[in-house]
Amino acid sequence: MLKLSADRLFKKHTTTVKPFEESSVLVIEGVFPFSRHPMYLGMLLILVGLALLVGSLTPWFVVVGFGILVDGVFIKTEESMLEEAFGEEYRRYRDRVRRWI
């Protein structure tokens, strides 16, 4: 639900949902006042659900690996790009909304 809701907002504002592409609009409505990265959070929650469903330890390695990869590579890069593109507007948003939840 988080991922789909965020995706719809990006389409509504005609900005890209693709990682590492320059955004034309800083979307801060809908689910974005609760998480700066609801799409990644949604994907992580899907993986957590699948790990719970499978009921073994192995899927949790994927959950942890995904979280580390997304936070360390994708989010770090995207947040730098957003700060460069939107400056003070993005910094104010970043200061009031948590990265994940």
As a whole number, mean pLDDT of residues 14-33 equals 96
Residue 26 · residue 89 · CB < 8 Å:
yes
H/E stretch holding 89 reads helix 76-96
Sequence letter at residue 14: T
pLDDT in tens, 43-63: 999 999 999 999 999 999 999
pLDDT in tens, 66-83: 999 999 999 999 999 999
State percent of the chain over pLDDT 70. 100
Q: Where are the chain's structural domains? A: 2-96
Predicted local confidence at residue 39, as pLDDT: 96
